[in-house]
Each structure stands twice: as C-alpha cells, then as structure tokens.
Structure 1
Amino acid sequence: MLYNFTTLKKLRNMKWSISTIALILIWSCENNPEQNAEGKWIKGTEEEKLKILENQFRGFDMAMVETGYRYQELYWAGQDENWEYADYQIEKIQKALENGLERRPKRTKSAKHFLTVALPEMEKALEKRDTVVFNKNFQMLTNNCISCHAMEKVPHFTVKKPLYRQSPIRK
C-alpha cells in the first residue's frame, strides 16, 4: 500500500501524540500524591515498621496454610502420576516450612525430623515413579505430620489423606 507524503506526516504526528499522552499518563500515575499516600501504610520508626511487617507475615500458621495446600496437591499429583508436579510440591513444602521456621525458630525441634527424614523419603519415593510406592510413603508423610503436631501440642490438628480435589491442576 502506498502512502502519500501528507498521510505519512499525519501517521507520524499521531504516533508522536499517542506516545506523548501515554508518557504523561504514566508520569501522572506515578506522581499522584493520593496514590503514593495509599502505599505508605507502614508508619512509625524503623523498628515499628519492622514489627508491622513481621505481623503481616505472621508466624508458623501461614507456613502451615501453604503446607496444607501443597500436601493436597502432592497427593493428587501422585494419584495422577504427575511426578514433576509432585516434585514441585515437595520443594514448595520444604520452602514453606523453612520460611516458617525463620519466623518461629522455636518450632525447629519438631520440624527437624520432618525436614531431614520425612520429606527426603518422599523424594526417594517420587524417584520410583510408582503410585503404590507413592501411596505408602504418602501415608508415612501423613504420620509424620501428625507426629509433629503432637510434639507441638496441637494433636487436634489431625491430618488425613485428601478426599476431594480443590485445585483444577490435572495431568
């Protein structure tokens, strides 16, 4: 398609105008005092700000929320023989627990066996790529969860094999 000189000039001016408007909008969003004030919800001294952030991350309970989700995903990954996804869940369980222990080191003694024995045994089971082996080791992993909860004096946090999928992830 051929353009005449006037059409090309109009297109160039239009591109320049759109670019200029876009830059002005971006600049105005970044320099909006109301928006910036909204982002400054952490107030106080540096120590007070750190305390606020610590409260937002919470304690070990948030690590357990993530671990519970990942535990379920691990189970269903094993049932689907989606071994790569199962490996991924083991890594994330370990990371969630390690992060939780940074926030609550007093839980380290109870979690040590889980991190050094139960999870590595589950990893070995995953290497076999066998559902029967997976299910056997998954039950041992579950027993370790229950044991850890008993050591933490929360035996009423009973862990059982999931009955229903909550995630849409499938192999």
Structure 2
Amino acid sequence: MRVTWHRLAGITPQPDITAHPLQTTIKYGFGLNFEQPLKDWMGVFGRWGWNEGRHESFVYTEVDETAEIGVAGSGRRWNRKFDRAGLVFVTNGISRDHQEYLALGGAGFLLGDGRLNYGRENIVESYYTVHVWRGIYPSFGVQHIKNPGYNRDRGPVVVPTLRIHLEL
C-alpha cells in the first residue's frame, strides 16, 4: 500500500463517493478469449480481461483484471453428447486505486467492510452441465475460492453453484 499524507498524519479518512457531483466518465477495458479443441470430445479454453480500475462501475462483479484457463469435455464419451464437464482456474485482481479505496473503508456494491488485506482472488471450479430437455441446460458445480473479496483475512470458502442456460 502506498504511503500517503493522511497515513503519516495518523488519519484514516473513509472515502465518501457521494460527496462528489455525478459526472460522465469513460471506463475502458479489453478482453480476449480462446477455445482450442484437443480431441473431438475435449478442449481447452482461456479468457483474459482488464479494465483501468479508476472509475466506479456497476457490473455483475468488482474485477479489474482476470485470467482464466480450463478444460472441458463433451458427454459424448459417456453417451450424453449434449452434456459437458469442466475444470477451471480463475484469478481475479483489482487495481491499486481500487485496493486503496477499499483499504480506507470505501465500499463498492459488493466489496468493502472497512479494511482490506489485499490478495488476488483465486478460484478453482468444477462443473457438470446436463441437457435435460429441448434447450434447457442446468449446470451444477462447486467453487473453491481463496481470498474471497480480494481479502487474505477471508476464506477460503467452498461454494456450490447452479446455473441454468435456456435456449428459446
């Protein structure tokens, strides 16, 4: 963490983002994706994403940088050709500005409890997607999350998952 004047003075001000007038800003980022078949029933995939992490955002989660790599297989090997099973590793991070904001007591829409002992959020997930009927694909899985909320003082936690993919 950076040494700033308020830390030297022994002051730990809690940021108040509502004290500033609402203004339009531009938030930018990038994302890359790859999928590579290895056999007719199995392949690897990966994703990488980054945004500048200096502006408030409201998205499904608070991530400024992410990398993911995984392997997925088709149920063709066990006579369920529309099913899929996979294993994924994900690592997420937030920018220095975002870290400092949370460490000073700031709160995002999901993060912030007054202190932050920063550590990258690392996730290992396994999942199974089953084709149950005409475009209905529930997916069941489990995630092991180290440093949830980017905080080394939290976790690890194990989270069961359920997703539903519908094709209408």
Q: Does the TM-score normalized on the shorter chain lie above 0.5? A: no
Q: Which has the higher strand share?
A: 2
Higher relative contact order (CA 8 A, sep 6+): 1
Return the structure number with greater helix share: 1
Q: TM-score, normalised by structure 2?
A: 0.25
TM-score, length basis structure 1: 0.24
Give the number of the structure whose alpha-carbon radius of gyration is greater: 1
